[in-house]
Amino acid sequence: MNDLSDLLRTPLYDLHVELGAKMVGFTGYDMPVQYAGIMSEHSHTRARAGLFDVSHMGQVILRAESFDAVAVAFERLVPMDVRGLGEGRQRYGLFTNQQGGILDDLMFANRGDHLFVVVNAACKAADIARMREAMEPEISVTYLEDRALLALQGPAAEGVLAGLNGAAADMRFMDVATFELVGAECWVSRSGYTGEDGYEISVPADKSEELARALLAHDDVMPIGLGARDSLRLEAGLCLYGHDIDEGTLPGEAGLTWAIQKVRRGGGARAGGFPGADKVLAQMTDGPARRRVGLRPQGRAPMREGVELFAAATGGEVIGRITSGGFGPTVGGPVAMGYVPVGLATPDTEIFGELRGKRLPLTVTKLPFVAANFKR
């Protein structure tokens, strides 16, 4: 772990310390891993609402003479339908390399005269460089260093945010809108990384603490750290970049082809045209050799990232590895994700994970472990 004195701080750092957060180094930032405790924070988010500081993520604006010009250029980098994205709507996306591997996953939104992109913290420098190299000078690529990013997640999120501005209640899942909160112009999307209903809010950095305090003043809201964020997304079957997906993972084997719209697939009006398209589309046609699956260890002991998987209790070669694993508070037991050969990817298949020299059984399980609660 990095020396905390070398780490960057988000605009909410002082508030985290005031609230008693345990701070850790994460992707170059000094971030809260927990406040009251991971289990209670996880359960509170599922039952009511949690507030997350995700200001370490990269916020980028892509702008040109027209939105269509931006969309055409961005489609050369991602396998998603950008040109067909309606104003005020957001999509999940992927940057791919020439081998079809995933360089990062991201969110992008049509905000009328520009595209708003949010990328992962660990990848943001490379992502911004990639966009600038591929798109400038025709498209301006602006990294926003003066805005924070908050996530309000959970079934009570709508009521809480609507208490500050009623427009929040009118939004559907993956809608984006601009409206005022605590006197600041905020860019709000109805989305998140927990499987619950909720919002992500881009707010000017100098107003972020005021907004966070206004949200935390509500009885339904408590601050949530990175620990519960990870357990929530794992139960929701959502990928963590650098763990469940990386440069060696193709969308097909990761179970992410749902994010590639028909128009960009083989036979579509704008098929291909992105890095690694031949390999990505071929795998969608032929099928992958391995698949990301949910895994339920049959005992009480969690199996974490790196645990080797086997087809049998004794003998045989390694067939895969766990990429994310831990205890699922809502599930009430250990949960994990990993990659296995397609022949072993059918739900209810029993495989084995080697933990401290012993092979223990796991059951292949359909994802997600906890059903999504988005507002459609």
Q: Which amino acid is at 152?
A: L
Q: Using the predicted structure, report yes or no on whether residue 4 has a pLDDT greater than 80.
A: no
Closest alpha carbon to 156 in 236, 232, 47? 47
Q: Using the predicted structure, report yes or no on whether residue 316 has a pLDDT greater than 50.
A: yes
C-beta atoms surrounding 286 within 10 Å: 9
Domains and CATH numbers, the chain: 4-57+146-235 (3.30.1360.120), 289-376 (2.40.30.110)
Mean pLDDT of 329-356: 97
Q: b/e map of 355-365 (b: 16 or more CB within 10 Å)?
A: beeebbebebb
- Grade residue 3 by pLDDT with cuts at 50, 70 and 90: low
Q: For the chain, give percent helix, strand, coil, nearest 5.
A: 25, 35, 40
Specify whether the CB–CB gap between 175 and 187 falls below 8 A.
no
Mean pLDDT of 10-29: 98
Q: What is the pLDDT of residues 189-213, one digit of tens each?
A: 999 999 999 999 999 999 999 999 9
What is the rounded radius of gyration, in angstroms, for the C-alpha atoms of the chain?
A: 21
Task: Express as a percent the part of the chain with pLDDT over 90.
Answer: 97
Specify whether the CB–CB gap between 282 and 288 falls below 8 A.
no
Q: What is the pLDDT of residues 160-191, one digit of tens each?
A: 999 999 999 999 999 999 999 999 999 999 99
pLDDT for residue 376: 79
